[in-house]
Each structure stands twice: as structure tokens, then as C-alpha cells.
């Protein structure tokens, strides 16, 4: 008996199914891709998920950009932050790059970043470490950077969940499965990006990541 190649056989079965039922089979929807997986700062890649798909650690920032933590060590459950000052952007002007840990969780968990105009958050912008990297070279894995136009952002991220006063907010929840010691753990990974425009171009952006059981 002559066997059909797998792809051809599948096509024949698909055609038979459509002919018999009158309905084409529904394709399974692909899972949503997280909005934030890593941030490029020049040539340095800072992951927001570990290789095991668990939460990233603050040491990833230390290793890539040099230590700039406040406080320098975990203390009283205070969230960790790290402040850097890249080379000013011609459009956005001087900006600050901030990394922060979860206020409610482990202070070593890396959960947020912000690229914002200098002076936006003075309480965490004291003593920022200088970076020999142009602010325009700070880019998310989705391609968000300073200077993009609003249509370019929409093409990269889709439709925002909120969009007002030149601030567009994007959110995605993705199911994750982690296997450890023979056990399987499922949880929802929440990621978000917030993009601020001035005169139709990006002048600030931020991202966050977290999970729920």
C-alpha cells in the first residue's frame, strides 16, 4: 500500500472533515507572547525571566551594568532599586534608567524597569551611576525604544488596554508551566508596558512582570 506523505495525508483528512461536516476545524489559538522578556542596554541583555522560566534576580542587573543598588543590601523588606544615567537622548533629553524589585515580594526579585525623564522620581534618582550607553540604545525585546512614533508602537504592541493623555498602557497574561523535582506548577505570567508620547514620539517607557498562582 502506498502511504501519503504526512503533510499530504493531513490535507486529505482535513478536506474529508470539511466535506462531511460542512465546517472547517477551528485552529487552536497560539498563546499570547509576554510583553517583557528582556531589556537590551546597549550590548547588555538583562533578562526578566530566568532560563527556568522563574522570576529574574536583581543580580542580573548588577552583572550587566555594575552595582547601583539602593539600599545596598536587603533591609526591612524595602523594595530594591538601581538607578543609572545613560547618555542623553536628542529628543527626550536627559533620562534615568531605573530597575526595581517587587514591593510585596522578595527584594531580590527583578520585576520592573523605567526609562523616564530625569527628575521624574527624585526619591530614587539620587546618586545614579553613569552609563556610557546612549538612551536610544535601551530597547525592549518587543522593540520599544525612545523616539518611536505612535503608529510604530501600535504595530509592535497592538491595541493598548488604556490610552489617554499621551500615555498608552499594554497588558498581556500568559500561562506558564514550570517543572521542578518531578512536580508541575502552572501559573499566569502578567506583563505590561507603559509608553509615554510627546509630539507623537516616545519620550518614556516602562515595563513590569509578575505572576499569580
The Cα-based distances of 144 to 11, 108, 154 in angstroms read 40, 26, 10
Q: What is the pLDDT of residue 80?
A: 83
Does some domain include residue 14? no
Does some domain include residue 12? no
Phi, psi of 14 (to 5 degrees): -60, -45
Does some domain include residue 25? no
Is the predicted pLDDT of residue 97 greater than 80, yes or no?
Answer: yes
Q: Could you give the CA distance from residue 170 to residue 189 in angstroms, rounded to a whole number? A: 14
User: Which of 48-57, 77-86, 203-212 is predicted with the least confidence, judged by mean pLDDT?
Assistant: 48-57
Within 10 angstroms of residue 9's Cβ, the number of other Cβ atoms is: 11
Does some domain include residue 189? yes
Does some domain include residue 8? no
User: Which of 1-5, 46-50, 141-145, 179-183 is predicted with the least confidence, judged by mean pLDDT?
Assistant: 1-5
Does some domain include residue 26? no
- Confidence band of 107 (pLDDT split at 50, 70, 90): confident
Q: What is the pLDDT of residue 70?
A: 75
- Confidence band of 180 (pLDDT split at 50, 70, 90): low
What beta strand segments (E) does 118-212 contain? 129-134, 138-140, 162-164, 167-180, 183-198, 201-212
The total domain count for the chain is 1
Q: What is the pLDDT of residue 104?
A: 72
Phi, psi of 154 (to 5 degrees): -65, -35
Q: Could you give the CA distance from residue 133 to residue 53 in angstroms, rounded to a whole number? A: 28
Q: How many helices (H) and strands (E) does the chain have?
A: 3, 12
Does some domain include residue 133? yes
Q: What is the pLDDT of residue 148?
A: 97
Q: What is the pLDDT of residue 210?
A: 83
Cell 502578567: give the residue. Answer: 190
Containing structural domain, residue 132:
33-212
Does some domain include residue 16? no
Q: What is the pLDDT of residue 212?
A: 63
Amino acid at each position: 500500500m502506498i502511504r501519503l506523505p504526512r503533510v499530504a495525508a493531513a490535507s486529505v483528512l482535513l478536506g474529508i472533515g470539511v466535506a462531511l461536516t460542512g465546517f472547517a476545524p477551528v485552529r487552536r489559538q497560539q498563546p499570547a507572547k509576554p510583553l517583557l522578556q528582556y531589556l537590551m542596554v546597549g550590548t547588555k541583555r538583562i533578562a526578566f525571566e530566568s532560563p527556568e522560566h522563574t522570576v529574574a534576580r536583581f543580580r542580573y542587573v548588577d552583572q550587566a551594568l555594575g552595582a547601583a543598588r539602593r539600599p545596598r543590601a536587603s533591609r526591612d523588606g524595602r523594595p530594591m532599586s538601581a538607578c543609572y544615567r545613560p547618555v542623553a537622548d536628542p529628543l527626550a533629553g536627559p533620562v534615568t534608567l531605573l530597575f526595581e524589585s517587587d514591593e510585596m515580594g522578595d527584594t531580590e526579585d527583578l520585576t520592573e524597569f523605567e526609562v523616564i525623564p530625569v527628575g521624574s522620581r527624585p526619591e530614587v534618582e539620587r546618586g545614579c551611576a553613569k552609563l556610557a550607553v546612549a538612551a536610544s540604545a535601551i530597547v525592549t525585546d518587543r522593540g520599544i525604544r525612545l523616539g518611536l512614533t505612535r503608529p510604530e508602537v501600535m504595530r509592535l504592541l497592538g491595541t493598548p488596554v488604556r490610552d489617554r493623555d499621551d500615555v498608552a498602557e499594554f497588558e498581556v497574561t500568559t500561562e506558564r508551566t514550570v517543572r521542578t523535582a518531578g512536580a508541575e506548577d502552572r501559573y499566569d505570567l502578567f506583563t505590561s508596558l507603559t509608553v509615554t508620547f510627546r509630539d507623537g514620539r516616545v519620550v518614556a517607557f516602562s515595563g513590569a512582570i509578575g505572576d499569580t498562582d
